[in-house]
């Protein structure tokens, strides 16, 4: 429930950005503080597990620090869509697991969370082969 509320808030802000351009850097700092609060007090209660080794909150915090409020918000929304949206798991010809998100980005096993890699290792499902 908490995770869904946080994701809904990010998507709402991404569509209706209420922050004037002159406050972009200040808003980005507050977003980083809010993400830090989420990671420290709420993340473990959300009931969700990120697909990625650097979690979505870490990636979002980095986006706000590097890109500012507007671009960081767009990147955060895109990252949350990647994690919570449609994706495919593939194996390359070399046997490496690759996660392909709905926006076409590919993430190798080094970028996947420990939990997801463990699930893949114990999985007996057939995974489509791709050339890599």
User: 3-state secondary structure string, 30-91?
Assistant: HHHHHHHHHHHHHHHHCCCCCCECCCHHHHHHHHHHHHHHHHHHHHHHHHHHHHHCCEEEEE
Say what the alpha-carbon torsion angle 71, 109, 95, 82 is, to the nearest 10 degrees: -40
Instruction: Tell which wins on pLDDT, 91 or 99.
Output: 99
Residue 122: partners with Cβ closer than 8 Å, 6 or more residues away: none
Instruction: Tell which wins on pLDDT, 12 or 78.
Output: 78
Q: Is the pLDDT of residue 111 over 90?
A: yes
For the chain, the average pLDDT equals 82
Q: What is the pLDDT of residue 93?
A: 84
Confirm if 77 and 11 have CB atoms less than 8 A apart.
Answer: yes
How many percent of the chain have pLDDT more than 70? Answer: 88
Q: Is the pLDDT of residue 6 over 80?
A: no
Instruction: Tell which wins on pLDDT, 130 or 116.
Output: 116
Q: What is the pLDDT of residue 43?
A: 84
- Tokens 């809010």 sit on residue: 34
pLDDT tens for residues 36-93?
998 898 888 877 788 898 999 999 999 999 999 989 989 998 998 888 878 888 888 8
Average pLDDT (3-20) is: 74
Q: What is the pLDDT of residue 130?
A: 42
Q: What is the pLDDT of residue 122?
A: 66
Q: What is the pLDDT of residue 107?
A: 92
Nearest alpha carbon to residue 130 among 113, 103, 102, 106: 106
Confirm if 21 and 69 have CB atoms less than 8 A apart.
Answer: no
3-class SS of residue 21:
helix
């Amino acid at each position: 429930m908490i995770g869904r509320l946080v994701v809904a808030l990010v998507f709402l802000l991404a569509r209706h950005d209420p922050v004037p351009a002159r406050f972009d850097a200040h808003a980005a700092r507050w977003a980083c503080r809010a993400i830090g609060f989420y990671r420290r007090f709420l993340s473990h209660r959300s009931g969700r597990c990120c697909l990625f080794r650097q979690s979505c909150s870490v990636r979002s915090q980095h986006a706000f620090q590097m890109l500012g409020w507007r671009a960081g918000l767009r990147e955060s929304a895109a990252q949350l869509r990647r994690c919570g949206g449609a994706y495919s798991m593939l194996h390359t010809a070399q046997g490496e697991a690759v996660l392909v998100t709905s926006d076409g980005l590919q993430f190798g096993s080094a970028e996947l969370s420990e939990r997801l890699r463990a699930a893949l290792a114990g999985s007996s499902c057939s995974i489509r082969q791709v050339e890599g």
